[in-house]
Amino acid sequence: MVAPQPCIRCGECAPACPAGVHPQRVLAALRREAPDEAQSLGLNDCTGCAACDAHCPSAIPLAALFAAARDELRLARQRSDFSAASRVRYTQREARLARAREEQAVERDRQRAATASAQAVAAALARSRARRKPAPWDGA
């Protein structure tokens, strides 16, 4: 097997591609780390047939590079989707916890208001006095 050489931009790979992709342009975009441009140039249209590999005088494994790039882009998209879903779950959880805290605060205030009212205090004092009264059979 011949070691790959740098792309000489000969254009031999383009007519060999049955999908009509220009592999040299896609390769250049991938090397510039421009995956969006590589996709717009036909990275996803590549069938992986390796016909371009057979015609490349520089022996660049184009089909393997394109497959690896597609896999990396797919993984990046999955990570991004997972991150977005996690962000949504987090914000929904925070909103749910905030609502629960508000409901607990309202309930706590309602209970404080009920126990702090003058009538509630008077009723508690009356119950306390009623317990302190000696029973008639105590003889006291």
Supply 80's token pair: 């991004």
Biggest distance spanned by C-alpha atoms of the chain = 120
CA distances from 132 to 69, 125, 127, 129 (A): 86, 11, 9, 5
Per-residue DSSP letter, 45: G
Task: State the pLDDT at residue 1.
Answer: 57
Query: Has residue 139 got a pLDDT over 80?
Result: no
Tell me the pLDDT of the chain averaged across its residues: 89
Are 110 and 104 in contact by the 8 Å Cβ rule? The answer is no
Q: What is the pTM of this model?
A: 0.65
Are 29 and 38 in contact by the 8 Å Cβ rule? The answer is yes
Enclosing H/E stretch for 124 = helix 118-132
Digit-coded pLDDT (tens) for 19-63? 999 999 999 999 999 999 999 999 999 999 999 999 999 999 999
Task: State the pLDDT at residue 6.
Answer: 87
Measure the N-to-C terminal CA separation of the chain; round to a whole number of Å. 115
Digit-coded pLDDT (tens) for 58-80? 999 999 999 999 999 999 999 99
Task: State the pLDDT at residue 119.
Answer: 78
